[in-house]
Amino acid sequence: MRLNPKISEKIAFALIGVSISIVIFAVTVILYYIISNGYSAISWSFLTEMPRSRMTEGGIFPAIVGTITLIIGSMLAALPLGILAAVYLNEYSKPGRFKWTVEMAINNLAGTPSVVFGLFGLALFVRYFGFGPSVIAASLTLAILVIPVIIRSSQEALLAVPMEYRQASLALGITQWQTVKNIVLPAALPGIVTGSILSIGRVAGETAPILFTGAAYFLPRVPSSIFDQFMALPYHLYVLATSGLDITGTRHIQYGTAMVLLLIVLGVNSIAILIRRHYRKKLRL
């Protein structure tokens, strides 16, 4: 017996409807639990105080500062390298073996597990360069993690700049670098900024790469130099939830930390999306 095509279409669409509902449900449940429980934990003192009583009371100030330090450190290293690499790949190099190899490397680095980057940071920065577990070792490890992300998004932004801009500039006898610097990069800037902001979200949330490169279990102060250890939000959450002194008693601190982390990452991502939307409208006009 063959099913009537109309009926089988109805069954199929109903199943697809169920499936997309499950996906929406999953997102909603996760956000609901974190936000509804985290909301009450957050207060001004929670954000600005040091942890107290062996991290069972008090705030998460050093973890917030640590995460911001990591963002700044890794971006200082990754942004110039990533953007310049994208400029070369898009504006200078011709299709060929070199470009193919670079693109293969980008794809593979983007898919390499974050814990492998952690091992690499431990072997290269902590041990080989002798930085020890420190802000600089963790920042450089995170920089290496996001360089492929920045290259990719900057390449996309450069690709979106119309060819005519370059041709007009070159036709006036302006050199290629001047064209890139004065014409192409300014036009691609919104796209590049969007990509960079998205990579900030990634840096803020990563835990595995900083586990062995400098994150401290407990450190009641902000890092004083780039060779100091630090606390960071994601590691703080992990520690409190799995090996803290009072795991079930500090749930509110855990939810609060998760909420702050989520707010930073989603906030940063929304800013990126808004910038993208703003400039897309402008380009259409």
Q: Does 55 bind other proteins (CB under 8 A)?
A: no
- Residue 60, φ and ψ in degrees, nearest 5: -125, 25
Per CB under 8 A, which of residues 229..248 are in contact with other proteins? 234-235, 237-238, 241-242
Q: Site size for other proteins, by CB under 8 A?
A: 85
Q: How far is the CB of 142 from other proteins (least distance, A)?
A: 13
Q: Does 20 bind other proteins (CB under 8 A)?
A: yes
Per CB under 8 A, which of residues 186..225 are in contact with other proteins? 201, 204-208, 211-212
Q: Does 273 bind other proteins (CB under 8 A)?
A: yes
Confirm if 152 and 78 have CB atoms less than 8 A apart: no
Q: How far is the CB of 28 from other proteins (least distance, A)?
A: 9
Tokens read off for 277 = 């939307």
Which one of residues 124, 170, 187, 271 is an interface residue with other proteins (CB under 8 A)? Answer: 124
Q: Does 27 bind other proteins (CB under 8 A)?
A: yes
- Among 234, 75, 66, smallest CA distance to 147 is for 75
For residues 62 and 148, which CB has a smaller minimum distance to other proteins in the complex? Answer: 148
Tokens 């705030």: give the residue: 59
- Among 185, 253, 209, 232, smallest CA distance to 41 is for 253
Q: Does 5 bind other proteins (CB under 8 A)?
A: yes
Tokens read off for 195 = 């990509």
What b/e string do you get for 103-126 counting C-beta neighbours within 10 Å, with b at 16 or more? Answer: eeebeebeeeebeebbbbbbebbb
For residues 5 and 95, which CB has a smaller minimum distance to other proteins in the complex? Answer: 5
Q: Does 89 bind other proteins (CB under 8 A)?
A: yes
Q: Does 9 bind other proteins (CB under 8 A)?
A: yes
Which one of residues 251, 252, 271, 275 is an interface residue with other proteins (CB under 8 A)? Answer: 251
Confirm if 265 and 31 have CB atoms less than 8 A apart: no
